[in-house]
Amino acid sequence: MRRHPALRRLWIGAMISGLGDTFTWMALTWYLVERTKSGAAVGTMLLCFSLPTVFTGALIGKWLDRRQPRPLMIADNLARAVLIGLIPLLDRLGWLPLTAVYVISALMGALSPATRVGTRLLTPFLVKDDELESANAALALTEQLPGVIGPALAGVAIAAWGATQTLLLDAISFLALIGAIATMPNIAREAPQDDAPKTWTILRRYPMAALVTILSFVFFFAYGPTEAALPMFVKEHLHSNAAGMGMLWSAVGIGGTLGSFSTGWLSRYPAGRTMACIALLWGLFQLGMAFAPSLGYAIAAFFFGGIVWGPYLAIETSFLQRTVDKSEHGTFFGVHTALLAPSMPLGAALGGALLLRISPQQVLLSVALACLLGGIVALCIPGLRQREMR
């Protein structure tokens, strides 16, 4: 990033904003659990964040293909800063019904594709093609690293100021990202093509990119039940407590951060095959965790699983950026975001339903088998084993 000051500024802004997002996730989760004494409210909030993206992602992406991404990205972050700031304000005024939290979450979720898609659209214009993996790996760290250090910092802030007041830190973090986005250069925009796809039909235009998107959906959806089952698994199978669960999350976060540094080395291999192998290996480590006889073994399995998972997002993003024409990046990544945003919460909801019928260990085994099956099927697709896929 030393040779790309624009990317460096974007990375710093995204890292600060990612840390703020971790604070919001922790603070809202704590607030809802304390207020309702139920995990159902947390699940509802997560769905409110993710489901609107299904409807707005493709539309925002289409818009970004025809205009400069900078104004919409700034408007998105400014609006979300105001929205998250409303929660502590309403709480201070003594009027914060759960409905208000859900509506604010839904509005923030509806806006968020602008920055996610805009960043993926900007990156190929900020670096050379052979530097895409490194750039995307660095940007992926802005999502992974806050998960390592953010929860502990958020816990201190919540204890000191309260859950809702901690949300003000996220509101401030949006301003750092706005400052970075404001310095981004204009990018070349092409006139609409006569045969340009209409949002969702773009998946037919790029079949290999569509297959990778499906693989990612299966991967993320299969991971969702882990989040639902893990607390009970730690308590019932590993005979540990919340501290033990925290160590598991930290282990996968640290592993993911370390694993992201292998992205450049892995870029020499076909991206589709690499992603299929990542899904396969994650399933193996998940299988090991399900049979772990103690917390220590489970932490080791989750740590190595994190190392395997670490480079996935950067490899996937780089592959899609190369496979899809630059003039249609916005549309494709909008559809991609719309599909993937609800995958993990929906998987978590399925996990919650499964826990009513089977044990937490059986849920984790089901997740592991789903990832193994997805990876094996992906490895059998000839197109995903090729070096260049267009």
Q: Where are the domains of the chain?
A: 1-187, 200-390
Q: How far is CA 269 from the centre of its chain?
A: 24
Report the pLDDT averaged over residues 112-128.
94
Give the closest residue to 126 by CA, choosing from 321, 383, 349. Answer: 321
* 3-44 per-position pLDDT tens digit: 789 999 999 999 999 999 988 988 888 888 788 876 677 778
Of the pLDDT bands very low, low, confident and very high (cuts 50, 70, 90), residue 190 is low
Any idea which residue has 């960043």 for tokens? 119
Task: Count Cβ atoms within 10 A of the Cβ of residue 314 and give its class: 0-12 exposed, 13-18 middle, 19 or more buried.
Answer: buried
In the chain, the percentage of residues whose pLDDT exceeds 90 is 52
pLDDT at 128: 92
Query: pLDDT at position 1, please?
Result: 63
Tally of CB atoms within 10 A around 54? 17
Instruction: Name the pTM for this structure.
Output: 0.87
Give the whole-angstrom CA distance, residue 215 versus residue 345: 17
Report whether 321 contacts 329 (CB < 8 A).
Answer: yes
Query: What's the CATH superfamily of 200-390?
Result: MFS general substrate transporter like domains (1.20.1250.20)
CA-based nearest residue to 369, from 308, 298, 286, 303: 286
Report residue 300 as tokens: 């080791």
What is residue 244's predicted lDDT score, i.e. its pLDDT? 77
- For 137-149, write each residue's pLDDT tens digit: 999 999 888 877 8
- Is 200-390 the same fold as 1-187? yes
Task: Give domain 1-187's CATH number out of 1.20.1250.20, 2.60.120.380, 3.90.1150.10, 2.160.20.60.
Answer: 1.20.1250.20
* Contacts (Cβ under 8 Å, ≥6 apart) of 26: 150, 151, 154, 155, 158, 166
The residues, ordered by sequence, that sit 6+ positions from 202 with a Cβ below 8 Å of its Cβ are: 324, 328, 331, 332, 335
DSSP sequence for 21-56 = HHHHHHHHHHHHHHHHSSSHHHHHHHHHHHHHHHHH
What would the pLDDT profile of 221-276 be if each residue is shown by its tens digit?
A: 988 888 778 878 888 888 887 677 778 877 888 898 899 989 988 888 888 889 99
Q: What is the maximum span of the chain, computed from C-alpha positions, in angstroms?
A: 62
Cα 234 from chain centroid (whole Å): 24
The predicted-structure confidence for 151-176, as pLDDT tens digits, reads as follows: 778 888 888 898 899 999 999 999 99
Tell me how far apart the alpha carbons of residues 222 and 337 are, in angstroms, rounded to a whole number. 17
